[in-house]
Amino acid sequence: MQPPAQSSFYSWNLVAHAPIALFFLLGSLFVDKRPLSKDSLLANERAVKAGFPRVVVGFMVSYQHLTTCTHLLATMYLAARLAGLSGLAAAAQAMLLPAASIVGIGWTVLFNWSPSPALKPPWTMLPRAEFPKGARGLEVADLCTRRPSLTPFMGMFIMLQMMHVAIPLLPWVDIYLYASPPTLAFGTEVALALGYTFAYLGWSLGVCWRARGKPPYPVLEAVYKEGNAPLFYGIFIAGGILISAAGYHARGGVLFPR
């Protein structure tokens, strides 16, 4: 049994994040009703013509991003904790800790710096075609991502902060408040984290990008064209392994038992 304070922590986080997860799940089912740009609509039609059912294309639109996939994983982790499914929660935690941290790091770094000379932030992360032309596009991007305002963009700002700031902090706050010794070996946790990473890359790059002809993030196409994709992905994967080790150590685990 979890202490009441710990259960409340998971409950309140689930209440905050479940509606966002539901929003993307329902958005996947009703992709034709979503306000997408002409560029995205053409990408969807390309996938449909390639033989993908429209509902699958809807899931591509919603879950081509590491952020949305990891947000759904975090929601499942919270539900597993509340349901007392300790084994499932331990596996989800092993995947969530590095993935959520990478989401937060990527959000912070790539919105302020570009590894490609062909792109300038924020168009490293945001597709330029989805925003108004000229200076208005930069203003809208800023209102949606970094600057709270009393405008219709405030809802998007809050949702993106929840996904890119609150979720990356969640597993670390969880460890700080309610750390318990790991039940899985370090090698198992790393294997789970890598499995999640490569499953995401296979889905996002191998299926979504190929089917729609549109990269999940503009920076991925830029580093691919410049021949820097292996280094780019390698840095994030190595960083994820180091984050797994830090989290395992913080929970009192022995990284390399004799």
Express as a percent the part of the chain with pLDDT over 70: 99
Each residue of 3-29: b (16+ CB within 10 Å) or e? eeebeebbeebbeebeebbeebbebbe
Amino acid at 144: C
Label residue 254 by pLDDT band (50, 70, 90): confident
pLDDT 10s digits, 194-239: 999 999 999 999 999 999 999 999 999 999 999 999 999 999 999 9
Q: Cα–Cα distance between 34 and 202 in angstroms, integer?
A: 25
Res. 61: pLDDT tops 70: yes
pLDDT of residue 179: 84
> Which contacts (CB < 8 Å, 24+ apart) does range 63-66 have?
63/24, 63/28, 63/203, 63/208, 64/203, 64/204, 64/208, 64/209, 64/212, 64/216, 65/204, 65/216, 65/217, 66/99, 66/102, 66/103, 66/106, 66/200, 66/204, 66/216
Res. 193: pLDDT tops 80: yes
H helical segments located in 179-217? 186-201, 210-212
pTM here is 0.94
Query: Beta-carbon neighbour count of residue 113 at 10 Å?
Result: 10
Query: Average model confidence (pLDDT) for the chain?
Result: 93
